[in-house]
Structure formats: structure tokens, C-alpha cells
Amino acid sequence: MSSGTTIILFLVSIVIIGILLIVIITFSRKAPKSINVQEFQEAWLAIENSVSEDVTSQYMAILNADKLLDKALRISRFKGETMGERMTSASRVFTRREAAWAAHKFRNRIAHEESVKININLTNKVLISFKKALKDLGAL
């Protein structure tokens, strides 16, 4: 064999190995779970139905809406150790990015600060933001 033929065979073998590696990597990846829309709709309906004039129900609705959004982010495989990191990864998906962030930050405030005041109107506004974010993710 001439040196030209040897080089060509060597290059062809590298290309074949590269193609095999790409195929192996592609097929060994876990397929992302799909969001079970019915499950999310039922959970969302339960959250909406739990809201009353009772302040505790309002706190719980916001906490549960935040958990539901985080669940959708995890199922959608957005990267991040924390929900905030996952929301940053998903920021291109949210049509009302600032509203989604404000809702999550408000949830953090009510979870960590005792002096946060809440009422039915504020609760409904926060829930609307969570609902929109869930719709953007395809969960509702």
C-alpha cells in the first residue's frame, strides 16, 4: 500500500469511529419525560379551589403553585440545582419572565419572612403569574 492509501484509510476509519460515537451518544441519552397535562390541570384546579378568604389557604395556594412550577421545570429537564437556577435555564420559554420571577420571589418571602401581609387580590395576582408560567411550559 502506498502512503496515500494508508492516510485515506486512516481518515476513513476516524470518520467511521466518529459516526459510531455520535450514534451511541444519541441513543444512550435518556428521553425527556413528557409533562402529563391532565395531572397538572388537576393539581392546578385543586390549588385554585383551595383559595378562600382564609389567609392560610392563600399562603398554601402560593406555596403549592410554586412547587407545581418547579415540578414542571424538573420534568422538562431544565438545568439547575435550585428552582431559581432552573427558572433561569427556562427564561427563554417564559413569555412573562418578570412575572414568573416575581411570583417565585413572593413565595420565598412568605416562606421565610413572618411579616409578609397577604390578601385574596394579591394571591390571585401571584397565582395568575404561576399559571402563565405553567402554560408556557406546556403543563396547562
The predicted pLDDT at position 23 comes to 79
How far apart, in whole angstroms, are the C-alpha atoms of residue 46 and residue 121? Answer: 18
More confident residue, 47 or 13: 47
CB 81 within 8 A of CB 87: no
Q: What is the pTM of this model?
A: 0.76
The values of phi and psi at residue 71, to 5°, are -60, -45
pLDDT tens digits, residue range 112-134? Answer: 999 999 999 999 999 999 999 99
- Domain ranges within the chain, ordered by starting residue: 1-30, 37-136
CB 129 within 8 A of CB 109: no
Mean per-residue pLDDT of the chain: 91
The values of phi and psi at residue 37, to 5°, are -60, -40
CB 37 within 8 A of CB 101: no
Query: Residue 100's pLDDT band (boundaries 50, 70, 90)?
Result: very high
The predicted pLDDT at position 87 comes to 96
CA angle 7–9–10, rounded 5-degree value = 60
- In single-letter form, the type of residue at position 40 comes to F
Query: Residue 33's pLDDT band (boundaries 50, 70, 90)?
Result: low
Mean pLDDT in residue range 92-119: 95
- Residue 60's closest CA among 69, 71, 70, 48? 48
The predicted pLDDT at position 8 comes to 82
